[in-house]
Structure 1
Amino acid sequence: MRVAIVSDTHLPRGDRVVPDACLERCRAADAILHAGDFVDVATLDLFEALGPPLHAVHGNVDGPAVRARLPEAREVELGGARIGMVHIPGPAEDRAARLRRRFPACAAVVFGHTHLPEHTELGGGFQVFNPGSPTERRRAPGHTMGLATITAGVVRFELVALD
């Protein structure tokens, strides 16, 4: 199973758009995970219309219409792996261990908010992953998204540079 992973799209904002390379990978995936901060319901609708099932959480800057449609946190079952999702992961110190405690039944947790790509693995195969942002890099070196390959319940994350 191939999963496209996105966060922090922050649209609309000026003339920014989701890069075609990101949209193409999302369309080709078996599922899409979005870790929040769509901002506007039109951006949520865009990702829902791409084809694969969208699993998403709301972020701290999402408007009321987005918040009404999405939970703050969730767990999804994909390819035999349980994946937790949340926008704000809390402080960097002990982040992976804290997320493991929050989502004890999950093999991995996908989060956003920081705009900085991150992939941390703990013992027992548990992982946390932040795909960065395809539209607003902030302090990150470039615009990014993630892909995950899930085989027999094992998740392999990959960061994709969009610049």
Structure 2
Amino acid sequence: MLIGIMSDTHDNLPAIRKAVEFFNERNVDLVIHAGDYVAPFVARELKKLKAPLKGVFGNNDGERKGLYEALGIYDELIELEADGMKIAVTHGTNEVLVKALAHSRLYDVVVVGHTHRYEIQEVGRTVLVNPGEVCGYVTGVKSVALLDTRKREVQIINIDNGELLGAMSL
């Protein structure tokens, strides 16, 4: 299964459009959003995804009722399973929670956002993935991640130029 991972879109519709096109071109089976959509109007672009979207709230998601109605987002932590791989998703605002999830040995992958900085880090038997920011507001780099559960590999890609920013085998 090929999973697209994004975070911190922050209402940047042109960047969201690029991320959606990137995921659609690669025929991902699922898209995970680690929070900070910001406003419900982003649903207009996110609904163009060919794959289902699963996501969590971030600390800048003020209109949660609207995001729930538009995208079905309703929680700050979700658990997913794909090809026998257990995945936890949270925005990353609570560092104690992120550490606990990563060290729990319950998950193969923990997905976070919040810092706007892309990262792939091994924590024991768990891989912590932050896809960076789709919006590009903080770092200037618009990035997403691809998690291939069959190849057991994660990659982070700059959606402006297709550059591979990082990769790790799981």
Q: Give the TM-score normalised by structure 2.
A: 0.78
Instruction: Indicate the SS of the match to 1:52.
Output: coil
Q: Distance in 1 between matches of 2:44 and 2:57?
A: 13
Post-superposition shift, 1:141?
5.3
Q: Distance in 2 between matches of 1:30 and 1:10?
A: 24
Instruction: Indicate the SS of the match to 2:129.
Output: strand
2:134 is matched with 134
2:80 is matched with 76
Give the gaps of 5 or more residues in structure 1: none
2:168 is matched with none
- Cα deviations by residue, 1:118-141 (Å, 9 ceiling, x for unpaired): 1101233x1000001121341x35
2:7 is matched with 7
Pick one of 47, 69, 86 that aligns with 2:90. Answer: 86
Superposition RMSD in Å: 2.4
The aligned runs of 1:140-159 (5 Å cut-off) are: 140=139, 142-151=141-150, 155-159=152-156
2:134 touches 2:142 (CA, 8 Å); kept in 1? yes
1:31 is matched with 30
Between the two proteins, the alignment pairs up a number of residues equal to 153
1:4 touches 1:25 (CA, 8 Å); kept in 2? no
Post-superposition shift, 1:25?
2.6
Q: Distance in 2 between matches of 1:143 and 1:86?
A: 20
Give the gaps of 5 or more residues in structure 2: 161-170
Post-superposition shift, 1:80?
1.7
- Cα deviations by residue, 1:87-110 (Å, 9 ceiling, x for unpaired): 02544xx88643324x54211100
Q: Distance in 2 between matches of 1:162 and 1:46?
A: 16
Q: Distance in 1 between matches of 2:19 and 2:79?
A: 23
Instruction: Indicate the SS of the match to 2:14.
Output: coil
Gap change, CA 1:75 and 1:44, over 3 Å in 2: farther
Q: Distance in 2 between matches of 1:26 and 1:70?
A: 23
Q: Distance in 2 between matches of 1:17 and 1:136?
A: 11
